[in-house]
Amino acid sequence: MFRLIGFIVGSVTSIFIILLVIGMPTFNLADQEADQERYDAAIEKLRAKQHEFEAVAGKLSEDVARVAESVETGLDAVADTMENNAIDQTTAAETAVPNSDEFKEPDVSVGEPMQMPDPYWYSFWNPFRSEIAAKGFVSQLEKVTGLDYRVVKVKTGVYEVAFAYHDDSERRTRLSQISAATGLDLPDSR
């Protein structure tokens, strides 16, 4: 019983001393004006950000349209010059060697580009356990080396990073470029 009374007296005394030192707290439970001001300020900030975003999006769409238009006109000009060059080359070939059976022209149409064989993909690094980690590795490699990479999902939890190549010398060249740019010790990079 005396212990309980001592505990209660001690607790009340310590609370009283804390209130004397710190002061009595003020509770603003009914301060609706301050709450409304904070709410209005937050709404105004959101509106300002929305207007800023709309302005940037408008400028960006104008830039994209301008770039697309310039690329389209550039492609048209390149196609016209390639067509004119192909016509000039065929007329020059016809006048240089008329009716010769020794020299046969290859069977290639004028407007069709030559098809490159599909590239091979070489996985050059240990597999990653997550696709996010593999994509992060690829983005850093692309920044440093400027080459194109692909994340290949072997199975769940196994993701490999690979680059495209057409022959063995190109593969070795790319490996040495990666090794020189990153400092990584890759096999076959020497």
For residue range 80-132, list pLDDT tens digits in order: 777 766 665 555 555 544 454 444 555 555 555 566 778 888 888 888 999 99
pLDDT digits (tens, 9 = 90+) for 21-44: 888 777 666 677 777 888 888 888
Which one has a higher pLDDT value, 79 or 172? Answer: 172
Considering the domain boundaries, does residue 78 fall inside one?
yes
Q: Report the range out of 11-20, 48-57, 171-180 with the highest average pLDDT.
A: 11-20
Boundary of a domain, candidates 74, 92, 110: 92
State the Cα–Cα distance between residues 64 and 57, nearest whole angstrom. 10
Structural domain of 150: 120-182
**pLDDT for the residue numbered 100:** 45
Residue 170 in any domain: the answer is: yes
Residue 14 inside a domain? The answer is no
Say if residue 162's pLDDT is above 70. Answer: yes
* All residues at 6 or more sequence positions from 152 whose CB lies less than 8 Å from its CB, including other chains: 121, 123, 159, 160, 161, 162
Per-residue pLDDT at 160: 92
Q: What is the pLDDT of residue 5?
A: 95
Total of domains in the chain: 2
